[in-house]
Amino acid sequence: MKATLLYIFSAICVICGLVSCSDDNQSDLQLAGNCMVENISLDHYEGTADMAQRTITVRVPQNYRTEAMKVTGLKVSDGASCNITEGQILNMEAAKTIHVQNQDVYLDWHLFALADEARIDQFVLNDIYTGTIDQQNKTITVYVPASVDVTNLTPSIQSAVNDTIFPASGSAQDFTNPVKYEVNNRTAKCTYTVTVYSISKPKALFVGSAATMNDLDGEEKAACQWMLANVPNSLYASFADLRAGTIDLSDCKVIWWHYHVNGGVDGHDIFASKATDALNAKNELRKFYEKGGSFFLTRYATNLPSFIGVTGDDEWTTPNNCWGGDESSAELCNGPWTFRIFDGQDSHPLWQNLIKGDNANEVYCTDKGYHITNSTAQYHIGSDWGGYNDYNVWTNRTKAKVLGVGGDGAIVAWEYPAQAGKGGIICIGSGCYDWYSYTYEAGYTENYHRNIATITQNAFNYLMK
């Protein structure tokens, strides 16, 4: 199977070396040569060039082994040379750079081997309800409120490059029963089964300011997608939905709010000015809590309890030590980031079944190569500032229990126990509790970061009791 490699016309080349002039003021640099890769093939599969990006892609069949591919054809511009030779064996599991030089000019081209892949990356119904995709089993699950007509839903589908899909994206379907979607990409093909579940009374709810889950930012969306895939009978709802009463909360056990803001939310007043959507729905949230509903509040959402009466009439019991970075310039983790389980809380359900590191009392949250905003909403403890001289003072004022602390003793995880018919609340404000890395460094391997999902599952299991 071959594809045609586009012949590459002359491009602006990078001048290599220092300018050297002769006595007659003429440059000694030889700049007339072209630096083109006119064709290249690996295992007899020819490459296709993208002239704008200076990339060459060799398409191979699905599941083709690319760790030892032979250069079976190579031609560069007349008079040019390059660092790759015909007959050479290349490990194409990672891209290779072809350095082409002609006299005193050169260009670098990036060579990729791309296997045919039939894959759906995103499935959204009516531009609102985002499906959870199980790539291994080729299933897509979508949860919608019972008020939605499942007999006439229109999917928007994002898929791998060159995929064709039937039924096509944008074609309305009846999802009363599961619908199969056939995906084809040259030698690759597969079938996804899409199942839509109507939920009249969700057991768990992820809330946010966005009208739909798809409109959440990357951090919040990653957390929400995990919940929909792992917590049965769960839905996303906006704070506007809660105010409008469009979600029946009579069977709901837990509401999760994972609130991210680039640059952080520093203290009571900033929270009050930024979280207006949530605070506009605080009467509904307070009613849910007072009727026995529980909350899982993470990142800057840990400010909420003070606004819905959990700490009595004292709204100024919000975290006193807060900060955060921007996702686009998130900090690189050069190793695991951790916080410490508070003394005597080792047996708390929140900390069970975690992947342990060298220190058994530490909660390991990230891995080397992960990028993190370090978005933190914690309580500084000490007589130097902040109003909480010690843990006892903090407990008496907030009515909460310490579960986890940072390296300096700041409270980063805490619980408002269920009592007097009211729900329980778990709060995690540690900057280590992070769902989304905008990029990963080369060689990144997921290990300790899986603890984030385990902690979250533990929180739901605990609160839903």
pLDDT given for residue 143 in this prediction: 87
Q: Which of 94, 82, 101, 93 is nearest to 40 (CA)?
A: 82
What are the DSSP E strand ranges found in 77-160?
A: 81-82, 89-90, 96-102, 105-115, 120-125, 129-130, 132-134, 139-145, 155-159
Mean pLDDT, to the nearest integer, of 326-348?
97
Domain edges within the chain: 14-115, 120-198, 201-463
Q: If you average pLDDT over every residue of the chain, what do you get?
A: 91
pLDDT-derived band at 29 (thresholds 50, 70, 90) equals very low
Helices (H), 89-248: 218-230, 239-244
> Which residues are within 8 A (CB) of 91 and not within 5 positions of it... i.e. 6 or more apart?
66, 67, 68, 69
Per-residue pLDDT reduced to its tens digit, 76-134: 999 999 999 999 999 999 999 999 999 889 999 999 999 999 999 999 998 878 888 99
Tell me whether the CATH fold assigned to 14-115 matches the one assigned to 120-198: yes
Overall fold of domain 14-115: Immunoglobulin-like (2.60.40)
Does the pLDDT at position 14 exceed 50? no
pLDDT digits (tens, 9 = 90+) for 383-419: 998 789 999 999 999 999 999 999 999 999 999 999 9
- Residue 52 confidence (pLDDT): 85
pLDDT in tens, 237-291: 999 999 999 899 999 999 999 999 999 999 999 999 999 999 999 999 999 999 9
Q: Between residues 342 and 24, which one has the greater pLDDT? A: 342
Q: Say what the pLDDT of residue 434 is.
A: 98
The string of pLDDT tens digits covering residues 434-444 is 999 999 998 89
How confident is the model over 147-170, as a mean pLDDT?
A: 92
Mean pLDDT of 51-75: 94
What pLDDT shows up at residue 147?
80
More reliable by pLDDT, 19 or 111 = 111
pLDDT at 335 (0 to 100): 95
Report which of residues 130 and 141 the model is more confident about: 141
Report the CATH superfamily, name and number, of domain 201-463: Class I glutamine amidotransferase (GATase) domain (3.40.50.880)
* Predicted local distance difference test score (pLDDT) of residue 27: 39
The matching CATH number, chosen from 3.60.15.10, 2.60.40.2340, 2.70.70.10, 3.30.830.10, for 120-198 is: 2.60.40.2340
pLDDT for res 16: 39
Decide: helix, strand or coil at residue 455: helix
Choose among 205, 219, 212, 378: nearest CA to 295: 205
For the cut 70, the answer to whether the pLDDT of residue 185 exceeds it is: yes
| pLDDT attached to residue 200 | 86
* 15 beta partners: 105
Give the chain's largest Cα–Cα span. 96
Q: How far apart are CA 416 and CA 252, in angstroms?
A: 19
Distances (CA, A) of 129 to 76, 147, 161, 197, 425: 50, 13, 23, 11, 27
Query: What's the pTM value of the predicted model, to 2 decimals?
Result: 0.71
4's tokens = 């045609």
Cβ(458)–Cβ(351) below 8 Å: yes
> Residue 6 — pLDDT band, cuts 50, 70, 90?
very low
